[in-house]
Structures are given as structure tokens and as C-alpha cells.
Amino acid sequence: MSRRYLMWFAHEHLDFRHAEMQSILSMLKIPIKFVEKPSEHQPYWIVDLPSETCVKQIAARSVLLKNCIELWSRAKSEAQLHKNLNSAVKNISNKWIIPNVDNEISDTHICPCQLLEVCSDSKKSFKVDVETFCKHFTMKEKVDKIEKFSYLPLHGPVKLNKPDVTLSYIEFYGVDPNNVPEEPCDLFFGKWIADGQRDLIQVHSLKKRQFIGNTSMDAQLSVIMANQAQIASGDIVLDPFVGSGSLLVAAAHFGGYIWGSDIDYMMLHARTRPTRVGQKVRKKEESIRGNLKQYGIESKYLDVLVSDFSLPMWKESLKFDAIITDPPYGVREPTEKIGIERDNYTLSEHHLDNHIPSKVEYGLPHIYSDLLNFAARHLNMGRRLVCWYPVVRDEYLEEQIPTHPCMKLVSNSEQVLSKLTARRLLTYQKISDDIPETPHDTRATVHNFRDRYFAIGEISRREKKERRAEELANSAIYIKAKQDRSK
């Protein structure tokens, strides 16, 4: 019998929710059935999944999932929630009773009493957690809410710390803090199964990471990328624009063995200016490898190399299980490759060892063309390239997204960066080994973000000024509030 679950998501990165979850489900080969059609405005899904084990596997991966409970009752009013549960006590059919299959909302469905029986064992301890969204209640009020479930066959002792069973009662008052209704709009009751990976956001936080750079990716987005790349234990993963290696931390966390390369010698040797405010010199331990060591996953480190992605380096037959990367957009860091625009240039032998070569512009369209060609040649079949792609929001058209005959775009989610700009996380899956003879050139369609970005620079400078003014005003209010309080 498949079971019904409530999956509760964090209310952020909404555009990534489906992409992350679909990647995890397809990686784990877990079928999902929506009991109610999911909506972006609601932080939950009501679904059928094959088993509790599946739920735990999913929760062990997803960073956007807060938790997952086995659903016993779901209603639009408190009375209905209890009515459903009361009827469930008597539902011995071993099936959900669904009074009207045409209803889109499952608020009258009655769960089988077998679900409730986990708690009728008098040796099993339990507790009930009350969670309310967008409205605060005191401890006393929460206890009163719990008392109302006294009709449930709960025979074991109450134990607040690590009980055998945790029951979960949720009241959802919407997501708009300025418009909180008197009564909850959704209520749920069930058995807690597992928490998602929200904790990783703290554990891998850049604030506490030894080695970071100006363009290090935050922990949450890095985990999303590793999930969309479907990185599993023992996979071989490459980031060809590795920088400080933030994407590879998440990849290694899920068991990937990692290679990285970057054109910036000083970066890989951690000799660039420190990124942290107030830090004068980089510490000796600062390195990509040091970061993995910090998280206890140094065994997943293969190597990093100083190299220019526009030139080939890996042997033809090498195949990766995933390529995850954040190429340079040319705004906070230059987009460059080795080159010189002078004719018949030579360099004497003794210059070679510590020569830092000069560079020429390596535009975004060119970078993406190289990246897709590289992925088509060096990915294992069915595996994925996950990469960021910057856009000017107003000018974005889906047709601009780079394409390749061997690489199928499977998801495309937007992260807004400013009023004018965004970046999109593109996930491609390799679907064919039939690599075109002449490298496929996507450059014609790809617009050059850097040029566009600087073209709109005038506007954005004005915008920045306005934002600064707003921030100042806000902090003035904050200071005033603090003074008021201390009076």
C-alpha cells in the first residue's frame, strides 16, 4: 500500500522546488503521485509515495524540504480536522476513504485506523509537536490545542526528548504576515517521518568556512546544484571554473570524488586578497582541500589544477558523472582566456616558470559553447551538467538559452539578483553520444550578458543610489527603534 505524505518546504527559492525534487526523485527512482495539485503559493505538497524508506531517502537529500510527515488528516477548518480523525479511528478498511473523488482538495478524506495504531502500543513513547505558520501561540495555547486530540488511541507515555513517535499538528495561516486570518486556512495532522537537509545550510555556511572567494556560492544553492546533478556516492565530478570550490563541497558531501580547475593561479593557491572584511592575510590552511578537511570529507578530494578551460587538457576517453559550475559572468570577475592580440610574440625560456600570461576576453557565448561541447564529449550517458547563466531580466527569452543536440535542458530556474538582473540555473542531461563532427556552436543565440549588463549600467547605478538611500532610511528607523526601547 502506498502511503500519503505531507512534504513541507522552505518558503524560498520557489522556482527551484520542483527542479530539486524531480532530480532527487528520478535519481532515486521513486514514483510520486500528487493527491492535490501543488501550488507555488503553498509551501506544501500532498503526495503518495511508496514507503517510509523512500521518504527518508528523499529527506536525506533535499535542502528545500523542511520535513515530511505521514498524513493522517488534512482539513480547511479545525472542526473538520477532528471530524476526519474521529472517523479514522473507526475506519478498519485498511484504505483511505475518499467521499468525493472529484474534489481537488482532500479535506474530507479519512485515513485507515491502521495508521493511528502506531501509538496504541503502551510501550511506545510519543509527543505531539504543534507548529503554526504566520501566527504565534504561547506554550499554554499550544498545550490546549494538543488536549483536543484526547480521543486518539494514544496509550504510551509522553516523552518530550527523543520519543519513539513524534506526532505533528500544523496550523497554516498563509504566507502573508501583513494579512493573517483569524482561523488557519489549512490544518494537518500526522506522524513525523524525517527532516530535510536545512541544517546543512548552517553546517556548510560560508561564514564559518576557512577558504572563500568573492564569488563563492552559498551552501544552500550549492546543495541544490549537487542534487540537480544527481551526484551519488562514488561519482566523479568536475567544476572547470572552480574558484574557491564551493560547489564541490556539496558534491563531496554526497559522496562525489572531485576535480576542479581554474585559470586563476593565485586563487587556487589562496594568495588572492582575503575575501573576509577585516582579514589581512590568508591563512596557511586556506585551500579547497582545506575546506573539505574542515567538513571531514577530504577523502573525496582528487585534485585541482590551474588551467584555461578554452584549451583541452583531459584525455579524450575520460568521462565524468557530473559537471557543476558557475562560469565567470564578467562582472565581479573577468571572463578571460590566455592569449595576446600582438603578432609574432615570443617569450624567452627563463621567463617561463613564474610568468603570468596575459589574457584576452573570453565572452559568455563562447564559454557556454565550449561548456556544452565539453559536457557532450565528457559526460557519461544520462548524466548532467548543472551551470548558472546570467540574464538581464527584461530581455530574457527562453530561446536565448544555449542548446546542443546531445544535451537536453531538463530544468531552468531563476534566482533574482537585482531588479534588473538574475541568473538561471540550467540543468542539462546528456541524451546522445552522437557528437557532431564540427563542434556545435551555440554562440549565435546566446546573448552577451556582460555587454548587456554594462549597457544597463547607467540605470543600475541610479538604482543602487536609491537602494542605498532606502537602506540608510531603514537603519535610521532601526536605530530610533532601539533608542525608543532603551528609554
Partner 1 sequence: MKLITHNMLTSKCLKGVVTGYPLAINATNIKVTEVDFNPEFISRIIPKLDWEVLWRAADSIGHSDGLPQTIEPKFEENSDFLKKAHKVLLEVEIEEGNLVCPESGRRFPISKGIPNMLLTEAEVQ
Q: Would you tell me which residues interact with ligand SAM (CB under 6 A)?
A: 213, 215-217, 241, 243-247, 262-264, 267, 308-310, 326-328, 333, 335-337, 362
Q: Which of partner 1, ligand SAM, none binds 30 (CB below 5-8 Å, type-dependent)?
A: none
CB of 257 to partner 1, least distance (A): 7
CB of 461 to partner 1, least distance (A): 34
Give the angle subtended at the CA of 106 by the CAs of 105 and 110, to the nearest 5°: 160
**Which long-range contacts (C-beta less than 8 Å, at least 24 apart) are formed by 199-206?**
200/63, 200/253, 201/63, 203/295, 204/249, 204/250, 204/253, 204/295, 206/246
Q: Which is nearer to ligand SAM, 290 or 327 (CB)?
A: 327
CB of 325 to partner 1, least distance (A): 17
User: Which positions lie near partner 1, rule CB under 8 A?
Assistant: 233-234, 236, 257, 259, 261, 263, 265, 268-269, 298-299, 302-308, 311-315, 317-319, 338-340, 343-347, 351-353, 355, 357-359
Q: Which is nearer to partner 1, 154 or 371 (CB)?
A: 371
Q: Which of partner 1, ligand SAM, none binds 318 (CB below 5-8 Å, type-dependent)?
A: partner 1
Nearest residue to ligand SAM, scored by beta-carbon proximity: 243
Q: Which is nearer to ligand SAM, 171 or 262 (CB)?
A: 262
Q: Which amino acid is at 474?
A: N
The owner of cell 495555547 is: 141
Cell of 227: 542534487
Cell of 170: 500544523
Q: Which of partner 1, ligand SAM, none binds 234 (CB below 5-8 Å, type-dependent)?
A: partner 1
Q: Which of ligand SAM, partner 1, none binds 236 (CB below 5-8 Å, type-dependent)?
A: partner 1
Residue 446's alpha-carbon distances to 38, 370, 403, 404, 452, in angstroms, are 33, 12, 9, 12, 12
Whether the CB-CB separation of 208 and 293 falls below 8 Å is answered with no
CB of 236 to ligand SAM, least distance (A): 18
Q: Which is nearer to partner 1, 163 or 328 (CB)?
A: 328
Whole-number Å distance between alpha carbons of 164 and 162? 7
CB of 251 to partner 1, least distance (A): 14
Q: Which is nearer to ligand SAM, 187 or 371 (CB)?
A: 371
| Buried b or exposed e, range 208-245, using 16+ CB within 10 angstroms | ebbbbbebbbebbbbbbbbbbbbbeeebbbbbbbbbbb
Q: Which of partner 1, ligand SAM, none binds 259 (CB below 5-8 Å, type-dependent)?
A: partner 1
Cell of 278: 577585516
Q: Which of ligand SAM, partner 1, none binds 309 (CB below 5-8 Å, type-dependent)?
A: ligand SAM
CB of 375 to partner 1, least distance (A): 16
Neighbours of 247 (CB within 10 A): 29
The owner of cell 509522553 is: 158
| Buried b or exposed e, range 460-470, using 16+ CB within 10 angstroms | beeeeeeeeee
Q: Which of partner 1, ligand SAM, none binds 305 (CB below 5-8 Å, type-dependent)?
A: partner 1
